[in-house]
Amino acid sequence: MIRRCKLFIPLLAFALLFSGCGFESSDGATASNEESSSSKNTNKNFEVQYEFNNWDTPWKSEAGVWYFTKEDHPGNLEDYEDFEDEDVLLIQVGNKEYQGYELEPVSVQLVDAETAKVVVDLDKGRDSEDHSPPRTFLQVDRGVLKYKKFLIESEDGKQLTTN
Average pLDDT, the chain: 78
Residue 30 lies in a domain: no
pLDDT attached to residue 28: 43
Within the chain, which residues score under 70 in pLDDT? 1-44, 126-128
Contact yes or no for 101/83 (Cβ under 8 A): no
Residue 51 lies in a domain: yes
Write the pLDDT tens digit of every residue in 41-82. 344 678 999 988 878 777 888 999 999 888 888 777 777 778
pLDDT attached to residue 160: 96
Contact yes or no for 153/159 (Cβ under 8 A): yes
Range(s) of the domain holding residue 101: 46-154
Residue 32 lies in a domain: no
Three-state DSSP at 48 gives coil
pLDDT attached to residue 117: 97
Residue 22 lies in a domain: no
Report the distance separating Cα 47 and Cα 141, nearest Å.
12
Instruction: Give me Rg for the CA atoms of the chain.
Output: 27
Number of domains the chain is built from: 1
Residue 17 lies in a domain: no
Residue 163 lies in a domain: no
- Is the Cα dihedral 6, 11, 17, 22 positive or negative? negative
Neighbours of 98 (CB within 10 A): 20
Residue 135 lies in a domain: yes
Three-state DSSP at 17 gives helix
Residue 4 lies in a domain: no
pTM equals 0.69
